[in-house]
């Protein structure tokens, strides 16, 4: 599912979260299903107590015959979806021998001219509450992404339908039930605007008399609130660690713990320690609210995965242009490469590539430097896939040069590397290579032919300020051995190799030579 599909789904959550009329809700669902997948017909069937499915609403049908059709248990494509709880697709429904056909249903399908059909389950708490179907009057193969999008829509529809049924059943109830409805709506409002854990527990504590806590997916308490204000999570005499990987609603005395989870992922849990016992209706609506939070968390997690894949594909040149749905990347971005995982928390456009964290940011370079992320390379700003990939290469090279220079923990852009920035491009490395060869050719040839280590000896000697004792200690050799090596280096490079400007050239060439080898 791409970011465009995720955004469409997220917008649908926002629009339907407040719809409590069941008929209006299911009609909205099929209308959006037809529009999202660009199909001829969409329709939705709800499960009955006897296991049959009744088509309640349609969009795009030629007449009224499709609505109200009863599908007996285990029959047709919808029956297979209900039995397996998985999406089912038929490229040519009427001719599909793998399905159990019914004359009346087939006649309606023939009248409508339905050929390709895709059905997905409306699953709730492990049961199939209905089936959402889309159809084309011509043969068409729905892609995996389209199936995934329709499945996500079906998952939210199941929660929204259950909420609508519950709210309808509770209409006109007493003050306790009205408070429970407000609890659901308030929490949904916070969740749908991307509220943090603190916002969730504060909102709940405004409507629930008692202590409210929220834990993350690691079952660690993130926040606690009472009477609309944050409080310390660990309070004497009041339980705050009863989560322990909660996967279903648990009541311990008056304490109620509800998981925040989707069918495939656990995001955390809500816990309420009320001043007075919660009614059953309160608990059920608390569960519905946790489902809504989980759905939004699922969408946000999927958006994060999409962003990670986009960043990785751009900087590794797996895509040649910025995708149409990534509008924000059509403006200049810095490319930041760091060995510090904290980079991921500072921007949504981040990923890991070759063991390092990579981020595309709109901040200026001074702001990036203020993050103090450890060994970090910064390049750009750049616009477009090719330029972003080139900037990534420069930022990676900055990190590698910093490490090779022993400047771990620093942040650098190409402009900070002085003469070593030649190593960031192929043309620059060729020019630097020419300089190294012109300056050190006799020394390089001697080491290559005889297996000696005069190049390293010369660099250590110059780095130690031409002091022989520290150099010998760093090289772990006897001073007499160092004297012999220095005499040999002098014979190869000339008497002035360690004096004045010539020493600067030699030292620079030695360092560039070492860095080039480490960067290869």
pLDDT at 299: 56
pLDDT at 238: 41
16-20, 137-141, 413-417: range with highest mean pLDDT: 137-141
Confidence grade of residue 197 (pLDDT, cut at 50, 70, 90): low
CA–CA separation, 455 vs 516, rounded Å? 14
CA–CA separation, 373 vs 86, rounded Å? 45
Calculate mean pLDDT across residues 24-35: 86
Handedness of CA 191, 194, 195, 197 (dihedral sign): positive
Percent of the chain with pLDDT over 70: 77
* 439: CB partners within 8 A, 6+ apart: 505, 506, 509
CA–CA separation, 124 vs 63, rounded Å? 31
More confident: 233 or 258 = 258
pLDDT at 381 over 70: yes
Calculate mean pLDDT across residues 494-510: 79
pLDDT at 384: 82
Confidence grade of residue 175 (pLDDT, cut at 50, 70, 90): low
Calculate mean pLDDT across residues 350-354: 79
Calculate mean pLDDT across residues 217-230: 81
Confidence grade of residue 367 (pLDDT, cut at 50, 70, 90): confident
CA–CA separation, 69 vs 98, rounded Å? 21
Among 223-237, 270-284, 371-385, the least confident range: 223-237
More confident: 4 or 465 = 465
More confident: 279 or 213 = 213
pLDDT at 1: 47
CA–CA separation, 392 vs 378, rounded Å? 8
Q: How far is CA 228 from CA 160, 194, 198, 236, 456, in A?
A: 27, 18, 10, 20, 67
Confidence grade of residue 239 (pLDDT, cut at 50, 70, 90): very low
Tell me which H or E stretch contains 230. strand 229-231
| 391-413: pLDDT as tens digits | 888 888 888 778 777 778 888 88
Among 215-224, 229-238, 266-275, 433-442, the least confident range: 229-238
More confident: 140 or 261 = 140
The secondary structure of 246-315, three-state, reads CCCCEEECCEEEEEEECCCCEEEEEEEEECCCCCHHHHHHHHHHHHHHHHHHHHHHHHHHHHHHHHHHHH
More confident: 445 or 236 = 445
Calculate mean pLDDT across residues 337-351: 77
Q: Are 133 and 105 in contact (CB under 8 A)?
A: no
pLDDT at 42: 92
pLDDT at 172: 44
Among 54-63, 314-323, 349-358, the least confident range: 314-323
Confidence grade of residue 213 (pLDDT, cut at 50, 70, 90): confident
Confidence grade of residue 186 (pLDDT, cut at 50, 70, 90): low
pLDDT at 182 over 70: no
32-46, 285-299, 368-382: range with highest mean pLDDT: 32-46
Confidence grade of residue 131 (pLDDT, cut at 50, 70, 90): very high
CA–CA separation, 277 vs 364, rounded Å? 53
pLDDT at 501 over 80: no
More confident: 240 or 324 = 324
pLDDT at 304 over 70: no
Calculate mean pLDDT across residues 45-50: 88
Q: Are 118 and 154 in contact (CB under 8 A)?
A: no
246-260, 452-466, 506-520: range with highest mean pLDDT: 452-466
pLDDT at 359 over 80: yes
Spatial CA neighbour of 285 closest among 321, 263, 326, 256: 256
Confidence grade of residue 479 (pLDDT, cut at 50, 70, 90): confident
pLDDT at 246 over 90: no
Q: Are 243 and 251 in contact (CB under 8 A)?
A: no
Among 148-152, 297-301, 428-432, 516-520, the least confident range: 297-301
pLDDT at 487 over 50: yes
For all residues of the chain together, what is the average pLDDT? 77
Among 56-60, 70-74, 286-290, 509-513, the least confident range: 286-290
pLDDT at 424 over 60: no
pLDDT at 409: 81
pLDDT at 121: 92
pLDDT at 240: 42
Calculate mean pLDDT across residues 491-517: 78
């Amino acid at each position: 599912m791409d970011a465009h599909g995720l955004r469409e789904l997220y917008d649908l959550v926002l629009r339907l979260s407040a719809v409590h009329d069941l008929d209006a809700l299911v009609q909205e669902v099929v209308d959006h299903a037809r529009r999202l997948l660009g199909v001829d017909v969409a329709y939705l069937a709800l499960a009955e107590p006897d296991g049959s499915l009744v088509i309640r609403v349609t969009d795009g049908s030629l007449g009224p015959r499709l609505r109200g059709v009863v599908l007996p248990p285990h029959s047709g494509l919808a029956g297979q979806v209900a039995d397996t709880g998985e999406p089912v697709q038929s490229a040519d429904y009427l001719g599909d021998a793998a399905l159990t056909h019914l004359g009346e249903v087939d006649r309606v399908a023939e009248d409508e001219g339905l050929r390709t059909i895709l059905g997905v389950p409306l699953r709730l708490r492990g049961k199939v509450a209905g089936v959402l179907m889309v159809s084309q009057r011509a043969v068409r193969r729905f892609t995996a992404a389209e199936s995934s999008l329709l499945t996500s829509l079906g998952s939210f529809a199941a929660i929204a339908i259950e909420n609508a049924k519950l709210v309808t059943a509770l209409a006109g109830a007493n003050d306790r039930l009205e408070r429970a409805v407000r609890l659901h709506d308030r929490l949904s409002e916070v969740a749908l605007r991307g509220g943090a854990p603190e916002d969730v527990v504060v909102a709940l504590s405004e409507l629930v008399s008692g202590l409210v806590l929220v834990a993350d997916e690691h079952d660690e308490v993130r926040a606690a609130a009472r009477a609309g204000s944050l409080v310390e999570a660990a309070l004497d005499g009041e339980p705050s660690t009863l989560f322990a990987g909660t996967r279903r609603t648990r009541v311990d005395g008056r304490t109620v713990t509800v998981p925040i989870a989707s069918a495939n992922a656990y995001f955390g849990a809500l816990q309420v320690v009320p001043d007075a016992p919660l009614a059953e209706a309160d608990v059920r609506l608390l569960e519905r609210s946790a489902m809504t939070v989980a759905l939004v968390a699922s969408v946000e997690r999927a958006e994060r995965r999409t962003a990670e894949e986009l960043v990785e594909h751009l900087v590794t040149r797996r895509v040649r242009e910025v995708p149409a749905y990534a509008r924000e990347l059509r403006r200049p971005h810095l490319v930041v490469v760091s060995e510090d995982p904290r980079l991921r928390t500072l921007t949504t456009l981040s990923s890991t590539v070759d063991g390092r964290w990579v981020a595309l940011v709109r901040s200026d370079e001074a702001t990036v430097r203020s993050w103090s992320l450890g060994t970090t390379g910064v390049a750009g700003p750049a616009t477009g896939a090719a330029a972003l990939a080139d900037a990534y290469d420069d930022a990676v090279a900055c990190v590698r040069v910093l490490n090779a220079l022993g400047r771990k923990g620093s942040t650098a852009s190409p402009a900070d590397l002085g003469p070593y920035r030649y190593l960031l491009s192929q043309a620059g490395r060729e020019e630097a290579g020419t300089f190294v060869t012109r300056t050190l050719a006799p020394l390089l040839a001697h080491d290559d032919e005889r297996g000696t280590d005069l190049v390293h000896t010369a660099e250590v000697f110059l780095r130690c300020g031409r002091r022989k004792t520290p150099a010998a200690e760093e090289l772990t050799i006897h001073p007499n051995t160092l004297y012999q090596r220095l005499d040999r280096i002098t014979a190869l490079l000339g008497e002035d190799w360690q004096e004045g400007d010539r020493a600067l050239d030699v030292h620079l060439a030695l360092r560039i030579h070492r860095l080039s080898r480490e960067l290869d």
